[in-house]
């Protein structure tokens, strides 16, 4: 890649990173979708439409790339044509016209693409006696956006926020005429407020032919503007009553006669209509971001959002990136978001600025998508992602490797990380992936050593319940069984075992940059180690690198490195540039393995933490006599997390139960590794024991004596047999990334209760001959 092009891309990325960092939307209501499809019964059919016409991009160089391209071509050729839609019809992209030279597109820097002109459109207006709304609509670099321009005779244009909760206006997206989507408070504002709370961005529903522009209509979007009075704020702030007062006040405001009579006390409300004439706003084939229901293999509709690359013009192409959301989250619809649903995932503004088209979507069974959620099952969610790729291959803005085979990569975390493993192992068209905080096995994550991870099961279940997800019927009974009895049956284990990558990784050939969190108590670091070991054991020499950062599925209570997330953003784009856009090899600058320790310092190695030579031949060992441990629930155990100086979300049930804390009821062993040593991996714990009771596990954790924190927030379940007979156990603890500074030391705790694995066991265990072995990194030449 030429130096000027690389500088241009990094410069554009830096601009995107600098816009909107730390943005918080102050309005009460944010984005919403108009409706959700009901689950559909499976039916025969194909996910892809007729193959688009036109030449493919030149074959990539290198034997490994040629092998992957050949596999992709064979897979695409084997796919049956879809009968769902005919080419060229309204709402279908249709046949691709003769494209301009893709090589010229790839070789041009983004400044050479002229910016899309602003096109103002009269959107409509509304008024009551107290509220006036005069919305506007513009098209700015393929994004439909505007402002409500709402005013109130009592409160002017003062918007409610975290610091002003009364005598102000709130805004809520109500509906759209064509299943389009609208996000409020998304456009940057001048002055100290990062975003204008009265601004909005719109994703119109695709009704037109992408090749000709024919079929564009006027779509309407309804937004409710409401006055919040001091009386409203008082009622909704009351304990218990407040939760009922809000909905009741809303009903009274909307009642035709009652609302007018009570307006002086409860405020007025107005639904404003925003009319978007797509033919006038984005004439012909002008690129525009939109949403569309992609038909998957079984007829289920998957709500999909497309964002063109920044500055792209009709007749040119850019590579494609797919970003799946975390569980319980909708696909990102805010085009100016700098982050995805996880903090280390670059958002639409960053991806678009790096010259990529972006697709986000609502996973099967969630939000506006139909079907039943199957937990990233390759036969369901995996085929949904393949259907999206086939659909995207017909978009004239998307760069192709071969007919029906776009240049495509994937990013995302958690649920959006696992879908990458599933898709890349089953669809060889995927060129590069950056999965984060994902899993290898849901059984070993949620049911390690047959010990049920109750806190996370509760968090995830409530997330799905509150968002109205439609899920596999085995999931909720399994959670209930785990919470009540501490065990799940074989049927539930089979459901978990069929979800995510597991044995599929034996087939992975897609270049992978894996990101995992050192404070992740849902999918601990061991999940990334298993994934890495499986991939490297394959015979295909798949490009692979890994990073351990401090963040998601937990809370980083360690000193923050301000360069951590931006650095991971840059690494993500570099990985995509190398393996998706095929622009040189910027991924070569990414370390094979990088990690952040408990002090916020970053280190790197050309070896992975399990490879020979990474650690010294002899580990550091600490030992202790042990002692008698009463097994009682809750009292003196580890977790839940509490504290006045912590964000409320980490100290609120049920999320607070996912954290380890120092335990009062524990057997303690002092651990003093040499100053300057680094522990990057899994300690091994062994001890003898004898006990009686109805429990089947005790737990172990490491306390950083310098901070009083549990290293990595994590607690390891240790299976025990309390039958009164002498027994011995040896088990790897959770992986950690810990650097020993002057005065630093650890305390090993073996404890009876952890809120992460809440149970009601009772008994006693006599522990002896405790030994802990810490792997020490080889820091020599």
- Could you give the CA distance from residue 680 to residue 608 in angstroms, rounded to a whole number? 10
Closest CA to 297 of 375, 356, 214, 377: 377
The stretch 744-750 carries a mean pLDDT of: 99
Query: Tens digit of pLDDT for each residue in 199-228?
Result: 999 999 999 999 999 999 999 999 999 999
Is residue 10's pLDDT more than 60? no
H or E stretch covering 691: strand 684-693
Classify burial at 189, counting beta carbons within 10 Å of its beta carbon; exposed 0-12, middle 13-18, buried 19 or more. middle
The 8-class DSSP code of residue 639 comes to: -
Q: How many CB atoms lie within 10 A of CB 159?
A: 23
Is residue 742's pLDDT more than 90? yes
Question: Are 678 and 603 a contacting pair, CB within 8 Å?
Answer: yes
| Peptide bond connecting 479 to the previous residue in cis, omega within 30 degrees of 0 | no
- Could you give the CA distance from residue 558 to residue 711 in angstroms, rounded to a whole number? 10
Which tokens hold the place of 458? 């509760």
- Could you give the CA distance from residue 672 to residue 705 in angstroms, rounded to a whole number? 10
H or E stretch covering 200: strand 199-203
Question: Are 515 and 342 a contacting pair, CB within 8 Å?
Answer: no
Is residue 701's pLDDT more than 90? yes
- Could you give the CA distance from residue 715 to residue 757 in angstroms, rounded to a whole number? 9
Backbone angles phi, psi at 91, to 5 degrees: 90, -10
Question: Are 245 and 236 a contacting pair, CB within 8 Å?
Answer: yes
- Could you give the CA distance from residue 680 to residue 774 in angstroms, rounded to a whole number? 9
List the single range of 17-31, 214-228, 618-632 with lowest mean pLDDT.
Answer: 17-31
DSSP string, 44-77: ---S--SPPPSPPPPPPSSHHHHHHHHHHHHHHH
The stretch 493-503 carries a mean pLDDT of: 93
pLDDT at position 457 is 97
Per-residue burial over 286-315, b = 16 or more CB atoms within 10 Å of its CB, e = otherwise: bbbbbbbbbbbbbebbbbbbbbbbbbbbbe
pLDDT at position 247 is 93
Is residue 295's pLDDT more than 70? yes
pLDDT at position 88 is 33
List the single range of 125-139, 297-311, 324-338, 747-761 with lowest mean pLDDT.
Answer: 125-139
Question: Are 221 and 273 a contacting pair, CB within 8 Å?
Answer: yes
| Peptide bond connecting 640 to the previous residue in cis, omega within 30 degrees of 0 | yes
Closest CA to 147 of 220, 203, 197: 197
- Domains in the chain, please, with CATH? 121-281 (2.60.40), 448-496 (no CATH), 620-774 (2.60.120)
Which tokens hold the place of 143? 């994004």
- Could you give the CA distance from residue 113 to residue 116 in angstroms, rounded to a whole number? 9
Which tokens hold the place of 725? 């007979």
The stretch 425-440 carries a mean pLDDT of: 98
Question: Are 209 and 92 a contacting pair, CB within 8 Å?
Answer: yes
Looking only at the bridges linking them, the beta strands covering 709-710 and 697-704 are antiparallel
Tell me what the pLDDT averaged over the chain comes to: 87
* Angle, CA of 752, 757 and 762, to the nearest 5°: 40
Q: How confident is the model at residue 194 (pLDDT cuts 50, 70, 90)?
A: confident
Dihedral of CA atoms 548, 554, 559, 564 in degrees, nearest 10, equals: 40
Query: Tens digit of pLDDT for each residue in 341-400?
Result: 899 999 999 999 999 999 999 999 999 999 999 999 999 999 999 999 999 999 999 999
Q: How many CB atoms lie within 10 A of CB 465?
A: 12
End-to-end CA distance of the chain: 32
Edge-to-edge strand list for the sheet holding 150-152? 126-127, 131-133, 150-152
Query: Tens digit of pLDDT for each residue in 450-485?
Result: 999 999 999 999 999 999 999 999 999 999 999 999
Is residue 71's pLDDT more than 80? no
Dihedral of CA atoms 288, 290, 293, 294 in degrees, nearest 10, equals: 40
pLDDT at position 126 is 55
Closest CA to 729 of 772, 761, 679: 772
> SS3 letters for 30-50?
CCEECCCCCCCCCCCCCCCCC
Which tokens hold the place of 313? 């013009």
User: Helix 381-392 and helix 415-426: axis angle, to 10°?
Assistant: 70
> To the nearest whole percent, how much of the chain has pLDDT over 70?
83
Tell how far CA 724 is from the center of its chain: 46
- Could you give the CA distance from residue 32 to residue 35 in angstroms, rounded to a whole number? 9
Q: How confident is the model at residue 4 (pLDDT cuts 50, 70, 90)?
A: very low
What's the Cα-to-Cα distance from 427 to each of 370, 508, 531, rounded to whole Å?
22, 10, 18
The stretch 567-580 carries a mean pLDDT of: 98
Question: Are 454 and 759 a contacting pair, CB within 8 Å?
Answer: yes
Which tokens hold the place of 113? 């693409």
pLDDT at position 44 is 32
- Could you give the CA distance from residue 263 to residue 248 in angstroms, rounded to a whole number? 14
Place of tokens 């609208």: 182
Is residue 18's pLDDT more than 70? no
- Could you give the CA distance from residue 436 to residue 517 in angstroms, rounded to a whole number? 8
Query: Tens digit of pLDDT for each residue in 107-153?
Result: 333 333 333 333 333 344 455 668 999 999 999 999 999 999 999 99
Closest CA to 435 of 324, 357, 543: 324
pLDDT at position 129 is 67
Closest CA to 137 of 193, 197, 204, 91: 204
What's the Cα-to-Cα distance from 111 to each of 106, 310, 349, 573, rounded to whole Å?
13, 10, 16, 18
Closest CA to 323 of 306, 309, 311, 336: 306
Closest CA to 683 of 720, 738, 637: 738
Which tokens hold the place of 316? 């040119």
The stretch 166-195 carries a mean pLDDT of: 93
Q: How confident is the model at residue 602 (pLDDT cuts 50, 70, 90)?
A: very high
pLDDT at position 558 is 84
> To the nearest whole percent, how much of the chain has pLDDT over 90?
80
Which tokens hold the place of 311? 């500055």
Is residue 426's pLDDT more than 50? yes
Q: How confident is the model at residue 189 (pLDDT cuts 50, 70, 90)?
A: confident
Residues in the chain: 781
Question: Are 338 and 20 a contacting pair, CB within 8 Å?
Answer: yes
């Amino acid at each position: 890649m030429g130096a000027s092009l690389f500088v241009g891309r990094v410069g554009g990325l830096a601009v995107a990173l600098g816009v909107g960092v730390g943005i918080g939307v102050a309005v009460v209501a944010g984005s919403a979708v108009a409706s959700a499809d009901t689950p559909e019964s499976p039916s025969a059919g194909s996910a892809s439409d007729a193959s688009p016409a036109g030449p493919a991009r030149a074959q990539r160089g290198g034997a490994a790339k040629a092998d992957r391209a050949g596999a992709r071509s064979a897979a695409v050729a084997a796919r049956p044509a879809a009968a769902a839609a005919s080419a060229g019809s309204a709402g279908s992209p249709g046949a691709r016209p003769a494209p301009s030279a893709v090589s010229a597109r790839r070789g041009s820097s983004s400044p050479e693409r002229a910016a899309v002109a602003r096109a103002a459109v009269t959107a409509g207006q509304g008024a009551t006696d107290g509220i006036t709304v005069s919305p506007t609509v513009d098209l700015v670099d393929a994004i439909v956006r505007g402002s409500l321009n709402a005013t109130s005779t009592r409160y002017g244009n003062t918007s409610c926020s975290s610091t002003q909760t009364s005598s102000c206006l709130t805004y809520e997206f109500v509906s759209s005429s064509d299943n389009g989507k609208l996000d409020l408070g998304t456009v940057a504002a001048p002055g100290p407020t990062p975003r204008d709370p009265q601004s909005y961005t719109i994703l119109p529903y695709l009704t037109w032919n992408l090749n000709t522009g024919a079929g564009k209509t006027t779509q309407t979007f309804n937004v409710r503007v409401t006055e919040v009075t001091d009386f409203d704020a008082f009622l909704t702030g009351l304990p218990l009553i407040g939760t009922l007062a809000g909905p009741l006040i809303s009903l009274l405001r909307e009642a035709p006669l009652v609302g007018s009579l009570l307006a002086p006390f409860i405020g007025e409300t107005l639904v404003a209509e925003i009319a978007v004439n797509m033919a006038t706003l984005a004439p012909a084939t002008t690129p525009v971001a939109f949403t569309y229901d992609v038909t998957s293999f079984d007829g289920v509709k998957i709500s999909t959002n497309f964002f063109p690359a920044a500055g792209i013009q009709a007749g040119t192409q850019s590579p494609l990136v797919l970003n799946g959301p975390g569980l319980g989250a909708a696909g990102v619809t805010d085009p100016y978001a700098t982050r995805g649903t996880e903090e280390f995932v670059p958002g639409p503004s960053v991806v678009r600025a790096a010259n990529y088209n972006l697709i986000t979507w609502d996973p099967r069974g969630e939000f506006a998508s139909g079907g039943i959620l199957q937990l990233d099952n390759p036969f369901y969610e995996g085929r949904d992602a393949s259907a999206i790729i086939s659909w995207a291959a017909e978009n004239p803005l998307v760069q192709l490797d071969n007919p029906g085979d776009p240049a495509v990569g994937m990013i995302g975390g958690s649920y959006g990380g696992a879908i990458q493993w599933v898709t890349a192992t089953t669809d060889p068209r995927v060129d590069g992936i950056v999965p984060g905080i994902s899993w290898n096995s849901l059984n070993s994550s949620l049911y390690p050593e047959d010990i049920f991870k109750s806190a996370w099961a509760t968090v995830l279940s409530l997330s799905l319940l509150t968002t109205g997800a439609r899920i596999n019927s085995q999931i909720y009974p399994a959670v209930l069984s785990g919470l009540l009895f501490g065990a799940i049956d074989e049927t539930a284990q089979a459901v978990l075992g069929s979800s995510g990558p597991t044995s599929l990784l034996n087939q992975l050939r897609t270049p992978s940059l894996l990101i995992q969190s050192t404070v992740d108590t849902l999918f601990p670091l061991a999940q990334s180690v298993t994934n890495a070991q499986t991939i490297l054991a394959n015979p295909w020499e798949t490009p692979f690198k890994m990073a351990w950062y401090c963040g998601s599925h937990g809370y980083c209570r360690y000193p923050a490195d301000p360069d951590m997330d931006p650095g991971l953003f840059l690494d993500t784009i570099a990985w995509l540039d190398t393996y998706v856009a095929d622009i040189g090899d910027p991924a070569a600058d990414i370390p094979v393995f990088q990690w952040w320790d408990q002090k916020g310092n970053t280190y790197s190695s050309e070896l992975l933490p399990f490879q020979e030579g990474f650690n010294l031949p002899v580990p550091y060992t600490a030992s202790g006599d042990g002692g008698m441990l009463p097994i009682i629930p809750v009292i003196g155990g580890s977790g839940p997390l509490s504290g006045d100086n912590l964000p409320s979300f980490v100290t609120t049930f049920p999320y607070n139960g996912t954290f380890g804390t120092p335990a009062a009821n524990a057997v303690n062993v002092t651990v003093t590794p040499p100053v300057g040593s680094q522990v990057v991996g899994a300690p091994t714990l062994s001890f003898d024991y004898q006990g009686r009771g109805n429990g089947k596990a005790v737990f172990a954790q490491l306390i950083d004596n310098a901070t009083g924190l549990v290293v990595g927030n994590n607690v390891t379940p240790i299976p025990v047999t309390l039958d009164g007979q002498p027994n011995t156990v040896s088990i790897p603890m959770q992986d950690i990334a810990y650097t020993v500074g002057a005065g630093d030391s650890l305390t090993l705790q073996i404890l009876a209760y952890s809120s992460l694995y809440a149970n009601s066991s009772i008994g006693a265990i006599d522990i002896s001959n405790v030994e802990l072995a810490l792997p020490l990194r080889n820091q020599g030449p």
